Amino acid sequence: DIQMTQSPSSLSASVGDRVTITCRASQSISNYLNWYQQKPGKAPKLLIYAASSLQSGVPSRFSGSGSGTDFTLTISSLQPEDFATYYCQQSYNTLLFTFGPGTKVDIK
Amino acid sequence: QVQLVQSGSELKKPGASVKVSCKASGYTFTNYALNWVRQAPGQGLEWMGWINTNTGNPTYAQGFTGRFVFSLDTSVSTAYLQISSLKPEDTAVYYCARVVRAGSGYALDYWGQGTLVTVSS
Say whether pLDDT at A94 is over 80: no
Average of per-residue pLDDT across B33-55: 97
Confidence category of residue A1, pLDDT binned at 50, 70, 90 = confident
| Contact across the interface for A43 and B111, Cβ inside 8 Å | yes
Cβ neighbours of B22 (radius 10 Å): 27
Q: How far is B89 from chain A (nearest CA, A)?
A: 18
How many Å apart are CA B42 and CA A83, to the nearest integer? 16
Q: How far is A73 from chain B (nearest CA, A)?
A: 16
CA-nearest of B34, B66, B78 to A95 is: B34
Say whether pLDDT at B31 is over 90: yes
How many Å apart are CA B32 and CA B53, to the nearest integer? 7
Which of 69-98 (B) contact A at CB < 8 A?
Answer: 95, 97
- pLDDT for A88 equals 98
CA-nearest of B1, B4, B3, B2 to B96 is: B4
How many Å apart are CA B121 and CA A65, to the nearest integer? 47
pLDDT tens string A58-87: 999 999 999 999 999 999 999 999 999 999
For residue A96, which residues of chain B lie inside 8 Å, CB to CB?
Answer: 59, 61
Lowest model confidence (mean pLDDT) among A88-102, B19-33, B62-76, B86-100: A88-102
Average of per-residue pLDDT across A44-63: 97
Q: Give yes or no for B59 touching A (CB within 8 A).
A: yes
Interface test with B, best of A71, A95, A98, A104 (most B CBs within 10 A): A95
Q: Which amino acid is at B74?
A: T
Round the average pLDDT of chain B to a whole number and report it: 97
With left for phi above 0 and alpha for psi between -120 and 50, is residue B89 left, alpha or beta? alpha
| Contact across the interface for B108 and A34, Cβ inside 8 Å | yes
